[in-house]
């Protein structure tokens, strides 16, 4: 019951973002987005294909800063699917002052290669901007959360249970800095610590090509301290994509 009440309380905060100025979106605009796409195709002795897509949208509504994130990854090797991941995330930040804010978020991820049908995470808490200027930003978030994971049918038969859930401590550290007028570096780390540790690190370098078009190189590392039987604790993903800002 405690877990259900926590989830409900956090989830109820999210719709309030529709009724909530900051420098979240540059200039006088209240909406901005980055669309990212990458693909690799080989034919001949080896037939492989991989696709990576991402849409990151930001919206200012009064004292609220809202972010909507969609990601997709698909890889195939000689007609065999070797990776398939889909992620949807929503976060609302309520600005207390120039440095501090309250946040609430919810995420949903499909990744059958981990042994789970899906993973759902919800959290809320306090965020603080330690550095916030035109060239560099550093912020951190911490608060309680709840994670729910449903196993796929085959894994559930092996493990002897269908799902796992846990109240977690949710933490985020996000660092971003300009290297030059046309390039920037970003490091983001997310961790959910409860009955086990689930963590994600993304290191990226973005360089402008022309106008709103840029090239992005990113390395993503996912860690699960207690992976299911037959699964690795660490997954890595390296991407080179085109990014368009609008």
Overall average pLDDT of the 86-94 stretch: 95
d(CA 234, CA 18): 37
The answer to whether 233 and 222 are in contact (CB under 8 A) is: no
Count Cβ atoms below 10 Å from residue 144 Cβ, excluding itself: 16
Question: What contacts 180, CB < 8 A, 6 or more positions away?
Answer: none
Q: What is the pLDDT of residue 22?
A: 40
Question: Which pLDDT tens digit goes with each residue over 36-84?
Answer: 999 877 776 667 888 899 999 999 888 899 999 999 999 888 878 888 8
Residue 3 pLDDT > 80: no
d(CA 151, CA 162): 5
Question: Which pLDDT tens digit goes with each residue over 177-229?
Answer: 999 989 999 999 999 999 999 999 999 999 999 989 999 999 999 999 988 88
d(CA 19, CA 92): 11
Most confident residue range from 30-39, 43-52, 150-159 = 30-39
User: Three-class SS of residue 227?
Assistant: coil
Alpha-carbon radius of gyration of the chain: 19
Could you tell me the pLDDT band of residue 26, with boundaries at 50, 70 and 90? low
Closest CA to 149 of 194, 190, 180, 185: 194
120 or 25, greater pLDDT = 120
């Amino acid at each position: 019951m405690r877990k259900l009440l926590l989830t409900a309380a956090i989830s109820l905060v999210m719709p309030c973002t529709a009724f909530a100025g900051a420098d979240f979106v540059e200039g006088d605009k209240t909406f901005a987005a980055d669309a990212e796409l990458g693909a690799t195709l080989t034919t001949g002795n080896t037939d492989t294909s991989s696709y990576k897509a991402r849409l990151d949208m930001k919206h200012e509504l009064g004292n609220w800063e809202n972010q909507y994130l969609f990601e997709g990854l698909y890889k195939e090797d000689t007609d065999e699917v070797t990776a398939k991941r889909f992620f949807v995330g929503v976060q609302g930040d309520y600005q207390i002052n120039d440095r501090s804010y309250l946040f609430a978020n919810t995420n949903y991820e499909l990744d059958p290669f981990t042994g789970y049908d899906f993973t759902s995470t919800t959290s809320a808490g306090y965020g603080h901007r330690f550095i916030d200027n035109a060239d560099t930003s550093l912020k951190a978030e911490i608060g309680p959360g709840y994670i729910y994971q449903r196993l796929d049918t085959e894994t559930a038969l092996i493990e002897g249970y269908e799902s796992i859930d846990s109240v977690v401590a949710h933490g985020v550290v996000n660092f971003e800095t300009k290297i030059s007028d046309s390039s920037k570096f970003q490091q983001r780390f997310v961790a959910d610590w409860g009955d086990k540790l689930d963590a994600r690190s993304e290191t990226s370098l973005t360089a402008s090509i022309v106008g709103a078009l840029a090239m992005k190189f990113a390395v993503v590392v996912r860690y699960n301290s207690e992976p299911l039987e037959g699964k690795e604790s660490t997954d890595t993903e390296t991407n080179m994509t085109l990014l368009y800002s609008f």
